[in-house]
Structure 1
């Protein structure tokens, strides 16, 4: 299960991330096994599993570890709480879990021996392919054409943002890594230009074919092509180098791409996204010594990161006013406990399934949680049907069960990030198979327990969302509006005064972009909550418009300083 994480990370970052995943997974299992050996009350075990599920949810959401998020941690820990256990066996079983995690680490890192630049090349190839699809999307009139264009732009923005995040994680300590990253950045800038391209007809088709050819070469391991950039794209590449060297690769880089993606999804026509002039980070370097290298005064230009360091970012998100993590953790703890107790009251033999189902339901707000409950229920019902069809194969013996679990893990990994309910179709029979490894249960009883626990977990999860509301979500919008106003004033000062140092102007830009991203996130979270006071939608719209206008003026100012310098 540890092998499901960090697939999109470069190998150096993947190695570090998987170590924490393995340690977190093993620690959770150790706590659960110890509780199973010492506690006889099933109700108390449900409570302990629910509290640990809340910790998993808050930690995974705060660190933004990515799919499959907290669900795998909670699934393994919750099932371990109800595994018959002797205290003397806990060290041995924990050691087995640690060995499994070590094996997962080795398997996930093994491709680095063959294709050490594989993850970043694949991420860039996906961005190129998404940009090619956007260029090939016909420009049609009416609602259907607008939806197709919006979907293509949203997909391209997401793929480009994911690729930037991957490239920002690439270490440039070795010459080979730095050269590879510089070449991939040039390709990615070219792919990103499709979002603001006005090309149509043969020109768009030719550019799409070129991008697809580059993508095929990246996937096949071919040498990086020579990419011609426009002056504006070259300035963007210089700004990216400054952003990376400034240490903004973590959260500032994430929010740059996220805010750009929101602008694309809303169909905004702001110059910040589509208009002429420099784009990301433009104007933050006066000279360049090769692609992707920004030099100022004979050394790399640096500016302070716009976000706290990663190790303090979790605490920052927990402490911020109106943080959604605190009510979300309370929802998970209460919902999982109530679902598990309801399962015990119904006489179900696997109450931890209800705990896991409830944990999977809780999302950033009530609206998203309701959607996830429907998806989870539908996926589990279809998964039970798949399990019934697989019963003849399961009856062949343990080896067949292991092979089936292997196939189902691959299916879940491939489908879950793209479509949750379809991924659940693979997860459900896999969970039932894992239950069969420890004991032999009648198939009908096993499927009945799963069905009841799914319905109970989903229903209780939605009910708890309605009862435990995030009443401070609107207050978070007010705080975000204040941050946007302050960052906009700083940007205006940097724009209006030629005496403001370039590094300070770049910092003002980063802060304004980050503030706009926080405002959009706060608004989206609050919009999906019920029992709220009226949201300041007009103030948010005005703040976003003025913020993007300030970014436009700041980008032109920085670009002019580069030109005149």
Structure 2
């Protein structure tokens, strides 16, 4: 796994931008005669690693907030520096706050790690000629450089992120259509649903509330609705769809990238909502034993222990222990991937120390520091997705080059030895904390999420049985159901990689998980089809689907299935169920019976 290269397409624009943002502050610092200040500003330049998939207007506010957070983080670190005994608790607390917020709000990688690293770096900055405010302004200036670099594309391709989101969703829907009736159907359906949700987040959640009816955004939303209809047709298909359906999806994707000016598409008025909003995400993450809270707790314990060990051993920069412990925990990966991440970090760091040593011995000055950092950052971003262990080699070299602050290192060998020890301590502590905390998480989360998904299905059935598919209440219920279906499979993916014993327990739940997800998408796709028929026809369709008692029978059955999933008892379903979900309901009952046995 350490030598496996994963696919990552067209990384060079992002890598070039990140490298440029890293080099500009150093060049400016050199030009004004203070290279160390320029290196300090590179801490804010890490803003360039965030928000590249967001629409430009939303991106402008998002990146400004990221840059401000970096400035605050380094200021907190500088304040802790004045009282040495507070350094470890402060960094551990920063790690916990950043981890919770980034997991709850779905901040993409590098996520919480960079905020903690910047705070930790603040505790070790040796710049007596600069006040805390001056340092914070330097970091903010580095963030400003990244902000400008991120926003330049708005002048050339103002709706680029939105177009890309629709095109990506179109390809995912096309692949799902092609997979109908094959063993790859379930995985393709989940990927298409997840990609569609990401697309609607870009088209709706990250946008002003009322776009122009005839504008580009409105046309892209209309294309997204067409993809929704294709997805619904594929969900309701009892046999493989004709090739023309996948061709149509790909045509929509191509048109999203290069739309025809004469295309007459307007905002459909009612569209899916994508990911939950900020407040809804925070409420869900504050639920007891939520993934975000558990990951935060792990990070807090691991960083406190790693930092304490580093301090007790007298390591000059104990925050490296904290950074290593947090790095392998903050994303909330399963045991297999966490173990892999720890091994990759240790192996990559030990090799990277050789490269870092060579750079520190050569001691680049002035513009050569900028060139070195730009080359390292470009290489990191080009390979970090393909092979993390290889990327860590260059991450280690870049971190030590920045930490040197443009000054000679008196004892390079000692610095490299300490960094290696710090990394090993942090990774071992992080893995140990994870290993001791995973069993309860692995065995309880999947049944809980399965019950929540069944409850969400029941919430949709009420308005759906009356033909109310366009009211705000009905749309909110459908939005929650789609979110729950995706969260269910994510819970399974995270839990199945647990220890062999607990992983086997979770793996036995797979038939129930996949059948519940099929049921959820069957209900959603039927709602989408009813929505396309119009309000009057929807009521007729609802009556034919449910009849006089179908809705209450289905809600009772879902309640019974939920009890069975939680208590592992055989469900008893006696009343006849609506035909359009009868197969999925029976399959779910059978999967729960097998599991309880």
TM above 0.5: yes
Are 1:167 and 2:167 matched, yes or no? no
Query: Any conservation in 2 of the 1:322–1:475 contact (CA below 8 Å)?
Result: no
Name the counterpart of 2:271.
Answer: 243
Task: Assess, with a 3 A threshold, how the Cα gap between structure 1 residues 228 and 154 changes in structure 2: closer, same or farther.
Answer: farther
Which of 101, 104, 120 pairs up with 1:59?
101
Worse-superposed segment, 470-479 or 405-414: 470-479
Residues 271-282 of structure 1 correspond to what in structure 2 (within 5 A)?
A: none
Give how far 1:127 is off. 4.8
Once the two structures are TM-superposed, the CA of residue 164 in structure 1 deviates from its matched residue by: 3.5
1:24-72 alpha-carbon deviations (Å, 9 max, x no partner):
2111111110111x2134xx42332222212211121111111210111
Question: Is 1:548 the equivalent of 2:518?
Answer: yes
- With over 3 angstroms needed to count, the CA separation of the structure-2 counterparts of 1:391 and 1:186, relative to structure 1, is farther
The structural deviation recorded for 1:314 is 1.8
Residue 75 (structure 2) aligns with: 30
Contact 1:494/1:508 (CA < 8 Å) preserved in 2? no
**Distance in 1 between the 2:338 and 2:270 partners?**
39
Rate the CA distance shift 1:386–1:151 in 2: closer, same or farther, 3 A.
farther
Equivalent residues of 1:186, 1:227 under 8 A apart: no
1:471 is paired with a residue whose SS is helix
SS class of match (2:52):
coil
Q: Report if aligned partners of 1:10, 1:169 keep a CA contact under 8 Å in 2.
A: no
Separation in 2, partners of 1:20, 1:556 = 40
Call closer, same or farther: CA 1:79–1:367 in 2, change over 3 Å: same
Change (3 A) 1:184 1:445: farther
| Residue of structure 2 in register with 1:370 after alignment | 339
Instruction: Give distance in 2, aligned partners of 1:469 and 1:315.
Output: 23
- Displacement of 1:351 after TM fit? 2.1
**2-side partners of 1:46 and 1:81: how far apart?**
10
Which whole-Å CA distance do the structure 1 matches of 2:528 and 2:317 have between them?
61
1:180 aligns with 2:180: no
Residue 378 of structure 1 and its aligned partner are, at CA, apart by 3.2
* Range with greater deviation from structure 2 (192-201 or 369-378): 192-201
Match of 2:149 in 1: 107
Q: By how many angstroms is 1:11 displaced?
A: 1.0
Shift in alpha-carbon separation, 1:161–1:110, aligned structure 2, 3 A: same
Instruction: Say which SS state the counterpart of residue 53 (structure 2) adopts.
Output: coil
How far, CA to CA, are the matches of 2:352 and 2:154 in structure 1?
34
The 3-state SS of whatever aligns with 1:243 is coil
Secondary structure in 1 matching 2:84: coil
1:72 aligns with 2:108: no
TM-superposed CA distance for 1:534, in Å, is: 8.5
Task: Report 1:116-131 matches (<5 A).
Answer: 116-127=158-169
Q: Deviations over 1:401-447 (max 9, x none)?
A: 11221232233334435543343233221101101225322443333
Is contact 1:324-1:470 (8 Å) kept? no
CA contact (8 A) 2:177 2:241 kept: no
Distance 2:352 2:511 in 1: 43
Distance (whole Å) between structure 1 residues aligned to residue 457 and residue 102 of structure 2? 32
Name the structure 2 match of 1:254.
none
Q: Determine the structure 2 residue equivalent to 1:311.
A: 279
Indicate yes or no: 2:507 matched with 1:518.
no
1:456 corresponds in structure 2 to 425
The 5 Å alignment of 1:128-527 reads 134=175, 160-171=196-207, 179-185=215-221, 196=234, 198=240, 214=255, 218=257, 223-224=259-260, 238=268, 241-244=269-272, 248-251=273-276, 309-311=277-279, 313-318=281-286, 320-346=287-313, 348-362=315-329, 363-364=331-332, 365-387=334-356, 395-417=363-385, 419-437=387-405, 439-441=407-409, 442-469=411-438, 471=440, 474-495=443-464, 497-498=465-466, 502-503=470-471, 504-527=473-496
Q: Which runs of 5+ in 1 are unaligned?
A: 252-308
1:91: which partner in 2?
133
Residue deviations 1:211-266 (CA, integer Å, cap 9, x gap): 78657xx3xxx55477799xxxx9xx95xx5235xxx3432xxxxxxxxxxxxxxx
Alignment partner of 1:242: what SS?
A: coil
Structure 2: segments with no counterpart, 5+ residues: 1-45, 538-597
Comparing 7-16 with 498-507, greater Cα deviation is found at: 498-507
2:125 match: secondary structure = coil
**Residues of 2 paired with 1:35 and 1:172: CA distance?**
40
Seen in structure 2, the aligned counterparts of structure 1 residues 128 and 379 have a Cα distance that, compared at 3 Å, is farther
Contact 1:22–1:102 (CA<8 Å) still a contact in 2? yes
Contact 1:383 1:429 in 2 (8 A): yes
The residue that corresponds to 1:40 in the other structure is 84
- Give the conservation status (yes or no) of the 8 Å contact 2:303–2:326: yes
Q: Please state how far the C-alpha of 1:177 moved relative to its aligned partner.
A: 8.9
Q: Distance in 1 between matches of 2:241 and 2:376?
A: 43
Distance 1:509 1:544, change over 3 A: farther
Contact 2:105 2:282 in 1 (8 A): yes
SS at match of 1:428: helix
Q: In the aligned structure 1, how far is the partner of 2:530 from the partner of 2:172?
A: 32
Q: How far 1:499 moved relative to its partner?
A: 6.3
Counterpart in 2 of 1:15? 60
* Residue number in structure 2 paired with 1:298: none
Q: How big is the shift at 1:494?
A: 4.2
Taking only aligned residues, the RMSD between alpha carbons, in angstroms, comes to: 4.2
Taking structure 1 as the reference length, what is the TM-score of the superposition? Answer: 0.71
Q: Which residue of 1 aligns with 2:577?
A: none
